[in-house]
Amino acid sequence: MTSRERVYRTLEFKSPDRAPRHLWRLLPWAQMFAADDLEAILRDFPEDFTSCPEPVLAPGDRSRGVRGIDSTWVDEWGCVWASGADGEIGEVKHPPLADWSALDSLTPPWEILRQADWDAVNRAQEKNLAGEQKFMFTGTDIRPFTTVRPFERMQFLRGTEKLYLDLGYGSSEVFRLRDMLHEFYLEELECWLKTDCDGICFMDDWGSQNSLLISPAMWRDMFKPLYKDYCDMIHSAGKKVFFHCDGHILELFEEFIDLGIDAINSQLFCMDIEETGRICKGRITLWGEIDRQFVLPSGSVQDVFKAVGRVRRAFDDGDGGVIAQCEWGTRNPSENIRAVFEAWDAPIEQLP
């Protein structure tokens, strides 16, 4: 069974030979400070996914790169980012729409879509299918500052605190901004869907540590219609939908299933894992994860095995619907990352 077949079988609940593997390296830290360990883990536990190549020919340096202490950079939307430590992406410190008067002059960066070499994706897929035959998708680390993420981009542009006030008051400007972003993302998806990639990922974080960031009613009214457009477009092109969402989002899982999302990456350990399993098992694929707040950075190898065992017992019945995924975050011990994939390969009855 090829990696690509394994992922498709997993997403369609058709009994893959094992759970597909996927290691997130979203932060530069692992490449900067644990490169040898990273290479060894990827050699011993080959991934079943491969990311699409960067198709966008944006002007200037738009790559993640290696960020130095106190480094700043401006993304394609004009958001000024600052990183306070080596190996971290940072956060927006100067939102361009801190004053709504700037909205009239805000222009989406259409050039990064319209001046792109989208055929680069097809060339990479042709090489992939002739060789390793992995599942190729956009991932969440492709163009991290322009990935389809309407709610988060609204925060980057307006500032989080001001955006929540805008949503609460229902200001006309917040609807204009949402619709501007949606128009841009629809065109971006149209570009991706003309390529030969297998799956498309979009993202938004909707949860705090213990609750949703906005009410379910507001989410259904303001944002679910956008997501429906994205999912319908992706599925109409015969591709799979991957969605990433951090925080306590238990109240939204039924909504994601209703939208037809194929795979979701969420912070399971913020929620009741067993209850999440009762809602999701057999209905939507769990695309990870293992606790990156406490277990991976601070736990023992035994703690990692226990965490994987808990996830597998809640979701893994051998029919598919589960991906062996974790994120290698800042200062996570390499032995804990290795333990994640060892635990996924072990017989479930042997896990603590």
Q: Which domains does the chain have, with CATH numbers?
A: 3-55+102-350 (3.20.20.210)
Q: How many CA atoms lie within 13 A of 246 on its CB side?
A: 11
Q: Which two tokens stand for residue 2?
A: 């090829």
Evaluate if residue 275 carries a pLDDT over 70: yes
Calculate the average pLDDT of the chain. Answer: 91
Q: What is the pLDDT of residue 67?
A: 43
Evaluate if residue 83 carries a pLDDT over 90: no
Average pLDDT over residues 274-281: 97
Q: How many CB atoms lie within 10 A of CB 187?
A: 13
SS (H, E, C) the chain: CCHHHHHHHHHCCCCCCCCCEEEECCCCHHHHHCHHHHHHHHHHCCCCEEECCCCCCCCCCCCCCCCCCCEEEECCCCCEEEECCCCCCCEEEECCCCCHHHHHHCCCCCHHHHCCCCHHHHHHHHHHHHCCCCEEECCCCCCCCCCCCHHHHHHHHHCHHHHHHHHHHCCHHHHHHHHHHHHHHHHHHHHHHCCCCCEEEEECCCECCCCECCCHHHHHHHCHHHHHHHHHHHHHCCCEEEEEECCCCHHHHHHHHHHCCCEEEECHHHCCHHHHHHHHCCCCEEECCCCCCCHHHHCCHHHHHHHHHHHHHHHCCCCCCEEEEEECCCCCCHHHHHHHHHHHHCCHHHCC
Q: What is the pLDDT of residue 62?
A: 44
Average pLDDT over residues 279-291: 96
- pTM for the model: 0.94
Which is nearest to 312 in space by CA: 274, 262, 275?
274
Do 182 and 150 contact (CB within 8 A), yes or no? yes
Torsion, Cα of 281, 283, 289, 291 (10° steps): -50
Evaluate if residue 75 carries a pLDDT over 70: yes
Which is nearest to 85 in space by CA: 147, 25, 145, 32?
32
Q: How confident is the model at residue 65 (pLDDT cuts 50, 70, 90)?
A: very low
The pLDDT tens digits for 181-218 are 999 999 999 999 999 999 999 999 999 999 999 999 99
